[in-house]
Every structure is written in structure tokens, then in C-alpha cells.
Structure 1
Amino acid sequence: MHSKIYIPEDFIELIRSTMPANLDMDEFLACCKTPLRRSIRVNTLKISVDDFLARVADKDWTLTPVPWCETGFWIEREDEETVSLGNTAEHLAGLFYIQEASSMMPVTALLADNDQLDCVLDMASAPGSKTTQIAAAMQNQGALVANELAASRIKVLHSNLQRCGVYNASLTHFDGCVFGGWAPESFDSILLDAPCSGEGAIRKDEDAMANWSLSSIEDIAEVQRNLIISAFQALKPGGVMVYSTCTLNRTENQDVCHFLKETFGDAVEFEPLNDLFDGAQQSTTEEGFLHVYPQIFDSEGFFVARIRKHASVETPKVKKRMGKFPFSMVSDKEHKDIAASLKQTLDITIPEHSDIWVRDKELWLFPKNLRPLLTEIRFQRMGIKLAEQHKKGYRWQHEAIMALAKGDESVSVTLNAEQAKEWFMGRDIRPENLSGKGEVIVIYRDYPIGIGKWVGNRIKNGLPREMVRDTNLFNI
């Protein structure tokens, strides 16, 4: 039990006045003071759920399925004290993502019976849990634009996308309010997991309510209203969007959605989520929104609304000053030559939904579906860096290997647990009775963990410096 959690009296009164009659206030408060269950989501870009469960069967992990996410599991571990979940071999290889269970719900709501995934926007995406969840459902096809306002969080977002092998995503760094004017009616589907007062996160963060006040709720709701209008303007007619928060008051949730409806009338339809998963009706409102109090599913508090756009709406007129786009697309012949070289040297195939672009001596893989937006929005980072050109050919990049290699390539070396630890610590590897030349994919337990280069009988470590771990690595 946490005793230090701060819960303001005004908040208790607010919940007391709005919580449905069938829910108990004492249960709510007791749940808020109980630590949150850990949960993970299997990254199906790299491994199927069945293969993942088989792989971790020899660990002392107890995995319980999350009802609203086919790839989500609550996790209990025997080895929790010795190794952090983030330093297990499976996490380092991108086979799973540590994600709070209720935060999987908005993406499930967005994806339900939705095949409109050619161009998707995640409007407030760092650290990347929902972005990688969307990318997994897209199976790296189409284009996924991940936007984040906070510059400090772009790096961690990129790192998580890279680890999970996402190559159809592009990062932008804007206030989400610009999309309605800069990219009007451009996206098939949009997730707006809005910045909020964080009332539902109290079990995860003792200080979640430290700056909470009734007056701050209204300030935050003003931001949310601007964001939801912009998201709706950026959505194609016929498209679907999800608005979600990890907070519990009506002002930031139902009222923001009703504001959208008041603004655009019949163009807005709330699609009910009563049947999203078994038991969903326990938390649905009269509009069919999910309003999840922590005690219902023993989770964080969360709110999810699914909104359909039935007609075009007016969008702001903006003057753009884009500057010159610094990349140029390679010719068909160059594309074929690069693809042939990658296949020959590392036995990896370029995905068919990708274009190759060049900037200086750098080769980048961009999602084809992004082409219409390249001249409309300034991107912070796009796709993945494939290679650097040099006199003798190409220097293939770590992030390209993590995204494109499958683990069964002929140009690879399998490491044992001790060697894999050395690799993750940034050290060179000396496999027994082996030597070679050129670049080589490094594998641990069937999955790529990076790219190295033979120097005689030693494999030179190619792990990017920021990915090097030095302590508390997985057990053998």
C-alpha cells in the first residue's frame, strides 16, 4: 500500500459528484492507493504472440491476458529484484513494449473494424507506446505520422520506434493545433491521446496530483478543445479518430467531445464502444464513451471516445514557408542497385512499400504513402536511415538492421548469452573458431540485436552509443 499518495479534497468531492452510482467511493480511493500492476504488449512487428509465449515459457513470468488488447499481458516476475524488465534480452531486441494496460485501449478503439490505415496521425505520441501499437497493427505498411510537442521527448520516441523495428513512421515536432490548417483532411485515422491533468495516473505516480486544482482543469480543457478541433479538421471525411486521456473529470473528457459536436454538428458521430471487449459496458457512458475508473478493471483511470467524420468541414487558411526539402528520391536504377547490394551483403530485402531517398551521402527509407505530405509538413525525422555511402559501397545502419532483418539471414552470427551481454555493453565479440570479413548481422536467440563488422576473428561492435547498457542485464 502506498501511504504517501496525495489526493486533494477537491478532487475527492469532484469524483464523488460525478462517479456513477453503481461504483463505490471507498473502493475508488483504496484502488488509487494500491500500486499499479505491470503490463507489457508483445510487438508483433517482430514476433507472434504464440512465439513470444513459447520463448518466455522458461522464465518465472506469469502472464495474464489484457481483455481489450490481443497482444497485451499483465506480468508478474520472480526475477524482478535482479533484472529490470527493460534490461531483459527480449526487451532489448524489441520483442515487447512495457505499456500500461489501460493505455492500450485507445488504439484498440481506433483499430476496431477499421481498415483505413493508409495514412495515420498520432497527434501526441511520446514516449511511443501507442505509436508502436498502431505501427504493429499497420504491419509497417502505409504511413504513420507521430507528432510530439516536447523537444525533450522526441529522442526517446525515436529510440522506441527504432527498437521496435518501425520503419513506416515519420516524426513531427509541432503544437498539434497546426494540423487542421497545415494538413487539412489528410489522414485516414487519427489518435489524439491528449495532454491532461493525469488524475488516472495516480497509481503510477505518487505526485501525479501535486499541481492539480479545479482551475487548472479548465486551462487544460481549453488546450484539449483546440487540439480536438485541429484533429477533426485534419481527418478525411469518412475517417475515424479517437480522443483519449488518462484523467477522470468530465470537463476534460465528455465536455471536450460535446464541444466538438457543438462546433461541427452532424459531421460528428460518436461511435459507441460498449462492445469493444468483454466487460466494456461496465465503464461506458450514455454516449458510448469508455470512462474507466481504476477499480473497474484494476488499472489506471482512462477515458476513450471514438468519433466518425461524416462530412467535410472548414479548415483554417495558412501561409506556409517550408524551405527546401533536403532529400531527393533515387532513380529506379539506383533503387535496384542499392536493393541488390543489401541483398548480396546482408541477405535483406527492401520492403516494397518504401522509397529510397538520398541526402548528401545518406540513404533513407521513407514510406511511399508519405509522398503527398512531404511538401506540406516539415518533418523532424522520417522513416529509417538505411546506409551511408562511401567509396567502396554502403555502410548499413543499426536501425535498418533492427527494422528489416528477420533473424534467418545467411550473413549472421548467433551469440550465446554471455556474448550477447558483452554486445549490449558495447564490447567487441570473439566467436570461437569463427572469422570472416565485411558486415555481419548479430543474432541472439533467433532475433537480430545489431550489426557488426568482422576484423579477423573479432566482430567489431556497431551498437549506437546511446543504446549501450552497462549494468543489471538479463540473467543467463
Structure 2
Amino acid sequence: MVQLNQDFINSIAKDMPAHLTMDDFIHYSSQPLRPSIRVNTLKISSNDFIDLMKPKGWTLDPIPWCSDGFWVSLDSEIQLGNTIEHIQGLFYIQEASSMLPPTALFDDLDDTTEYTILDMASAPGSKTTQIAALMKNSGLIVANEYSSSRVKVLHANVLRMGVSNTALTHFDARVFGEYLFNQFDAILLDAPCSGEGTIRKDPQALKNWSHAENASIIDTQKALIESAFLALKTGGSLVYSTCALSRAENQEVCEHLMSCFPDAVEFQSLSQLFPDAEKSCTSEGFLHVWPQIYDSEGFFVAKIRKIADIERQKPMPKQQKNFPFEPASTKVKVELQRYFKDTFDISLPHDGLVMVRDLEYWLFPAKMADLIGKMRFQRIGIKLADGLKKGFKVRHEAIMALANALTPYELTSLQATEYLMGRDIPLPDGGKPQGEVILTYHACALGVAKHLGKKLKNSLPRELVRDRIISSETKG
């Protein structure tokens, strides 16, 4: 049962638009959320995914503000996160409202192949991976997360979804305005907040709500939006979003930014972002999504353009020293390219930076060349392979990001399940050994195995082995 304390009701009533009612708010807040997913177009098109899942009994209804987002209806016994399709990164379980901020960020962007984008508070990775798909894995996303434990979750999701254009950082995001001043073409600040809009997912979220607790959150939000604006290039766009409902955490934070830089801040209207967007649009052009408007979580989205230069607020920090990577030699790059092409029919991107550290070979996004030395990074790009005495050993994450499925070893549902549970796959009629092969399911990469003739020897990293895999088919 949803828990709304009276202080919250009294407070939120003041912020609720006149055309909405508290009765409807309480009613919708008490309803379970409709399950929703976003198809990962880095691996499969939405049309192909629909064709794939409809015969399995899935009903996919389009989400108006995300071309690859769907509300999904299926057998209640199916756990989406344990299906093969989820594990191999064909889709992300993402609340529908959470798909709004990246959609708003990219609304008027044309060619983003050369863009450098900052996601200031990115874990668990739903919006980072959505941005990567919208960028088609080109350009560069700096994905920051303050919580060390959540950085691990972010990294796991980035790899699962086949994202290769990220550099992960672990900072209090207030540092970006100083360290990467005027650096980013676009920025998403999905700010830490009171979580008022998440009550349909967590009925206890507002049980102990209080003005006092929210005060420090609002101070943080104001500091973060200032930092974001300083890090943004002139002419660039900033999207500020929260899953809060109050004006204090939303409109007033944006107004604070306007008061700090009145000549440089321009609010952009989102009233035409999608059909019926005007139902949640404020007078400033922000989207203030209440649960009853679209039958979703509560959310707030503002789009802000930087229309004039502003001065750096602090002196330029010293360059970071002792960067642990160096460019691979031309000879090594040629050998790596030949290994990937001959073994897996994968052509390594020509515009990436192939870097080496202790016989580990990595592929960095080309735009990283502009940032090396300016800040410490936790993880950049993808690890391609480990060096051996003779040759290389491919890494799972490289296959998940780069495989084009032109030479697949397609598995059955049962074989795919066995592979993801860390088991070897018997091949009674396997023929001659073939060495390393890409295993696919639905013609999308699942991982690598060594074909030994009579069996496929499992090469799935131990940390990715699953105890339980379930069928994605509904029971008829």
C-alpha cells in the first residue's frame, strides 16, 4: 500500500497544476507501473525485435516519446532480467518516463558523430546506454557516477549493451565545471533528488518525506547545474531532469541557474517533443510529468541552451600525470586488425585509438585524445584483447560491442541457456575443430567459445555466469 504522509500531500498540493487533482494523483500513485523496455538498437532494430518477440507472446505498445521504447505485456511469471534476450543486451528494462531526458537532449541534434557528451550522474546506465544508441556508438560519452558501488553496475550495463564510446569517471560531479570547462557539446544532468516520482515503484519512498531532508538535496542540485553549465560549450544544450515532483527541486533549480548567468541561459520549450507533450508542459517550456498524465512515474525535464560565453570561475587545474596507457605501435595495430578479421570477421574501427597497458590492448573513442591528462578516468572504451606469447586472446566485451554476426555459430535456446550458465556445449556432429568462434542467438552475439570438434568450450567470463536463465516465451 502506498504511504503518503500529510506533510508531503500538503506540500505537493501547492505545486500541482489546477487542471490536475489530488484524487487522481493518489489513485495513480497506488497503481503498479506498466513494465517498459527500450530496445537496444546497437544490436537489433525495434522492428526486428518486435518480430522476434511477438511469436513468444509479447505485446509491445509504443511509448510516444521514445521511438525504441515500449510498454510490454507478457506472462507474469517471466522475469525480464533473466531472459536470454536481456542478458545479451537486446533490450534494457527502463521506466518509460526515464526515456524522456535523452530524447529531449537529442531533439534538435543532427550529426552527433563528433560530439562529446557528459552524463553527470549516470548509474545504473539506462540513460547512458540510450544516449550511446542515439549516437550509434560514435563520438564520446563521459559517464560519471559518484557512488563507487554504482560505478560497477554502470560498467556492467555499458558492457552488456555493447557500448564502446564511453569513458567512465567517479567524482562528485561538482568538479566538471572546473576540470572540463567549456568542453562538452551537450550534457545530461539527471540529478540526485528526493525521488517523489518513484512512489509507484517504491510505495515506501515518501513515508518519511520532510522539507528538512530535501533542503540539502536542493543545494546539491543547484551546485551541480552550475557545474554542468560551466562545462558546456557555448551553443550547447543541457538537459536537467529529476524524478522529483516539487517546484523546489525542478523549476526553482532552473531559475537559480538563470539568476547566476542571466545573459547566457535560454530555456527551450519541449511542448512539441512528442504528441501530447503539451499536457505536461509548463509556462517555461519544461515537462513536469505527473503520474496521472501518461500513467507513468513522475518526472521533470528541462532543456537549457548556453547562448553566450561565460568566464571560467576557477583557475585551470594542473594536468594529470602518469596516464597508464600509451598508443600501440603500427605493427601491433596491424597484427590486432588481422587477428580480429581472420578469426572473427570483425573490422576494427579505423577512427579509434588502440592503446596498450601491460600487454592489454584497448580501443578508446577517438575523441578521448582531447581529454587525456585533464581528469582521471576509471574505464575508457573497451578492452580488445590480452597479449599472449604468440598472438592474442579476445575479450568478451570486444565481441559484444563489435561482432557483426556475419560468421555466427548460432545456438538453440537450450544451448544458449547452457552457455550463459557457464557450461560447455556438446557437439555430437561437430566435425573438425575450428578454434575460437562467436556464438550467437537470434543472430546477435552471445559470447566466444573454443570449437574443439566434439564440444564448444565455454569462454564466458566467470563474473557473467548466471545461476538461472528463463525462457522468454509465455505459456500457452
Deviations 1:313-354 (A, max 9, x none): 122225336230000011333222211121011111102331
- 1:314 corresponds to which residue? 311
Q: Offset at 1:179?
A: 0.3
Q: Aligned match of 2:334 in 333, 336, 352?
A: 336
Question: What TM-score, normalized by structure 1, do the two folds share?
Answer: 0.96
1:91 and 2:89 matched = no
- 1:347 corresponds to which residue? 345
Q: Is this contact kept in 2: 1:84–1:472, CA < 8 A?
A: no
CA distance in 2, matches of 1:179, 1:402: 30
What are the ranges of 5 or more consecutive residues in structure 2 without an aligned counterpart?
A: none
Q: Offset at 1:116?
A: 6.3
Q: Is this contact kept in 2: 1:65–1:72, CA < 8 A?
A: yes
CA distance in 1, matches of 2:350, 2:62: 34
1:373 and 2:371 matched = yes
Deviations 1:140-166 (A, max 9, x none): 110111000000011111111111110
For 1:457-476, what aligned pairs fall within 5 Å after superposition?
457-474=454-471
Question: What TM-score, normalized by structure 2, do the two folds share?
Answer: 0.96
What are the ranges of 5 or more consecutive residues in structure 1 without an aligned counterpart?
A: none
Deviations 1:356-414 (A, max 9, x none): 000011000100011110110100001000000001200000000000002222xx422
Per the alignment, in what secondary structure is the counterpart of residue 206 of structure 1? coil
CA distance in 2, matches of 1:384, 1:416: 28
What's the % identity of the aligned pairs? 53
Q: Aligned match of 1:278 in 275, 278, 283?
A: 275
Q: Offset at 1:238?
A: 0.5
CA distance in 2, matches of 1:147, 1:431: 44
For 1:103-118, what aligned pairs fall within 5 Å after superposition?
103-115=98-110, 117=112, 118=115
CA distance in 1, matches of 2:191, 2:110: 23
Deviations 1:89-123 (A, max 9, x none): 21111111100000000110000011363100000
CA distance in 2, matches of 1:212, 1:26: 19
Q: Aligned match of 2:170 in 163, 169, 173?
A: 173
- 1:386 corresponds to which residue? 384
Q: Offset at 1:59?
A: 1.4
Deviations 1:147-199 (A, max 9, x none): 00000011111111111110011100000000000000100000000000000
Q: Is this contact kept in 1: 2:167–2:380, CA < 8 A?
A: yes
CA distance in 2, matches of 1:197, 1:211: 11
Consecutive aligned runs of 4 or more in structure 1 exceeding 4 Å deviation: none
CA distance in 1, matches of 2:122, 2:111: 19
Deviations 1:66-100 (A, max 9, x none): 0000000001112x31x310111211111111000
RMSD: 1.3
CA distance in 2, matches of 1:319, 1:185: 14
- 1:216 corresponds to which residue? 213
Q: Aligned match of 1:206 in 203, 209, 212?
A: 203
1:236 and 2:236 matched = no
- 1:102 corresponds to which residue? 97
Q: Is this contact kept in 1: 2:7–2:209, CA < 8 A?
A: no
Per the alignment, in what secondary structure is the counterpart of residue 57 of structure 1? helix
Q: Is this contact kept in 1: 2:185–2:237, CA < 8 A?
A: yes
Q: Relative to 1, partners in 2 of residues 1:335 and 1:302: Cα closer, same or farther, differing over 3 Å?
A: same
Letter aligned with residue 374 of structure 1: I
Q: Relative to 1, partners in 2 of residues 1:108 and 1:30: Cα closer, same or farther, differing over 3 Å?
A: same
1:289 and 2:293 matched = no
1:12 and 2:9 matched = yes
For 1:176-191, what aligned pairs fall within 5 Å after superposition?
176-191=173-188
CA distance in 2, matches of 1:259, 1:472: 49
Q: Aligned match of 1:407 in 405, 408, 430?
A: 405
- 1:140 corresponds to which residue? 137
1:39 and 2:36 matched = yes
